Amino acid sequence: MTVSARPDNLKWDDSKSEEKKNRFKLSPGKILTYALLIALSIFMLLPFFWMLSASLKLDKDVFVFPIQWIPSDPQWSNYQTIWTQIPFLTFFYNTTKLTVIITILQLATSSFAAYAFAKLQFKGRDFLFLAYIGSIAIPWQVYMVPQFIMMRRMDLVDTHLSLILLQAFSAFGVFLMRQFFISIPDEILDAARIDGMSEYGIYFRIMLPLSKPALATLTIFTAVFVWNDFMGPLIYLNSQELKTIQLGLRLFIQQYSADYALIMAAALVSLIPVIVLFLAFQRFFVEGIGTTGLKG
């Protein structure tokens, strides 16, 4: 009894198999690169590991050397204390409120202005854009006092509205969105105009859906900045019930001492929303960074 030969279409493709092997073959250069990247990653994460370790210690053990990375008696009660020793929940709510409102407003104002600067033709467009973007180079300390005087005359000091109004517009956001809008072909917009779509319809139904990477990038930048903002709330907010997390962390610092274990626990809790936000938008964030600025 003879066994028939295997058909040609069932034969192994040796070239593809060899290509697959070469793809996963690590050369000495790749091994060195990966080892260096892993070492740098561990080095960058060390402060966070120390913060986690310190948050589970007694205050007297935080700065003990050599560092005990895994506490022998973890103080999980520190995470309970931060919610009871200060109104941490109120601070958390205030920070979340400001972050969400300011981020939404910046996305709206930046994308709307960027569409005009990128796709509409009007007199003085380029000059206005350069003048607006040039404000990025002006240090905030230069106009900090005039801003405060303006808010005080409007009777908005010690209100969240003052921070919302001051941070609702972003020159950086306009620049970021404009650079992405420029990469969208004008032929798509011209076809929509021929079909009778208005500029508002083009903005809402074409530009925004195509700009998810840029919007995600701006969302991360804005949300992280507002969440970690310290100087703004310090200047404009005086009432305890209006303060944010960053101001709340200062309450653990007394006149002659500081509860560093509680500070580390509160700081770690305050990092969670930022980490979750980045993980949720990281795919769009990387794409937005890679494609923004291809055209000018």
DSSP symbols for 77-138: HHHHHHHHHS-HHHHHHHHHHHHHHHHHHHHHHHHHHHHHHHH---TTHHHHHHHHHHGGGS
Could you state, in order of their start, the residue ranges of all structural domains in the chain? 13-79, 81-291
CA distance 39 to 26: 18
**Using the 8-state DSSP alphabet, how is residue 56 labeled?**
T
Asked if residue 233 has a cis previous peptide bond (ω within 30° of 0), the answer is no
CATH homologous superfamily, domain 81-291: MetI-like (1.10.3720.10)
Of the CA atoms within 13 Å of residue 151, those in its CB half-sphere come to: 22
Query: What confidence score (pLDDT) does residue 296 get?
Result: 43
Asked whether the beta carbons of 274 and 223 are under 8 A apart, the reply is yes
| Beta bridge partner(s), residue 258 | 253
Give the pLDDT of the chain (296 residues) as one tens digit per residue: 455 555 555 454 555 555 555 556 667 778 888 889 898 988 888 888 888 888 888 878 778 788 788 888 888 888 888 888 888 899 999 999 999 999 999 999 999 999 999 988 888 888 999 998 888 888 888 888 999 999 999 999 999 999 999 999 999 999 999 988 998 888 888 898 988 888 899 999 989 888 888 898 899 999 999 999 999 999 999 998 999 999 888 887 765 567 888 888 888 888 888 888 888 877 776 665 555 444 44
| Beta bridge partner(s), residue 253 | 258
Asked whether the beta carbons of 214 and 294 are under 8 A apart, the reply is no
Query: What confidence score (pLDDT) does residue 100 get?
Result: 95
Query: What confidence score (pLDDT) does residue 94 get?
Result: 94
Query: What confidence score (pLDDT) does residue 295 get?
Result: 46
Check the CA dihedral 108-111-113-115 and report its sign.
negative
Query: What confidence score (pLDDT) does residue 148 get?
Result: 92
Give the pTM.
0.80
Tokens (6 digits) for 190: 């011209």
Query: What confidence score (pLDDT) does residue 106 get?
Result: 95
Dihedral (Cα; 160, 161, 164, 169), 10-degree rounding: -160
Asked if residue 28 has a cis previous peptide bond (ω within 30° of 0), the answer is no
CA distance 226 to 206: 29
